[in-house]
Amino acid sequence: MPLVTLKDVLQPALRNGHAVAGLVTLGWEDMRAYVAAAEAEGCPVILQAGPSCRAHTPLPVLGKMFRHLAEHASVPVVAHLDHGYTFDECEEALEAGFTSLMFDGSRKPLEDNIAETKRIADMAHSAGISCEGEIGFVGYDGGEQSNGTDPKEAARFAAETGVDAMAISVGNVHLQQDQSGGLDENRIAAIQAQTDVPLVIHGGSGVPAVQRKRLAQTTNICKFNIGTELRMAFGTALRAAVGSDPDRFDRVQILKDTHDPVVAATRTVLQTMKG
């Protein structure tokens, strides 16, 4: 089926008490595995091109890859720009066929974040696609510290930007390799009391699976971004494939062996977000 927008998959999730996975892609092998897993689970999937993905493969190429996968998939697929930092980058993604733009102005002062996010949301909506923004800063495991989302600022951000989804900082961090953390459910409830915009959790790999499932069913969190968890699964599968036969050198054959393990790991992730 053709690509769909972020709004197309998040509004049903909001109504029906589940979440959709935003899966961070790095190349063809993981993209293909993610779509296969979504088909096996019978649920939509959001393919995300973040900064490291874009540094490796140009946006126009990524747009064609996402579109090809979507057109041959039996489930809805969203082509999502993750952490776009400039208007020009977001515009390039739109022109490349992406159906969702995430502008990250979370490091900027509130007024600037609102103004710049609104400009990109207006551009996206004029083209018939979706926009995600971020209020509060989601930090990095062992790196930049988070700045938690203020509920009143979140309400203002949602109202003034017109975003279709809002990423929040509630104890989540990027690049966490285990699920020892957890989200601040009181802060989530306070944000949800101020706005009905679908909420997004970046750094979803660090959220315990049980909490992920419960929040997907009982709150307005409609999207969990998952990267590290699946990159680890891919890396483990790749090391096993390389080590299984020291005489094998064809990378197509080696990478082929990552497919089934990554599909299995992705299916486990998707199951935590179902209603």
Q: Which residues are catalytic?
A: 82
Nearest alpha carbon to residue 106 among 69, 132, 130 = 132
Kind of pairing, strands 20-25 and 130-135? unpaired
Where does residue 82 rank: exposed (0-12), middle (13-18), buried (19+ CB within 10 A)? buried
Q: Are 165 and 199 in contact (CB under 8 A)?
A: yes
Q: Burial letters for 91-117: b for 16+ Cβ neighbours within 10 Å, e otherwise?
A: bbbbebbbbbbbbbbbeeeeeebbebb
Number of helices (H), then strands (E), in the chain: 12, 8
Q: 139-148: long-range contacts at Cβ-Cβ below 8 A with a sequence spacing of 24 or more?
A: 139/169, 139/173, 139/174, 140/173, 140/174, 140/175, 141/173, 141/174, 141/175, 141/176, 141/177, 141/206, 142/175, 143/175, 146/171, 146/172, 146/173, 147/106, 148/184, 148/187
Q: Are 93 and 59 in contact (CB under 8 A)?
A: yes
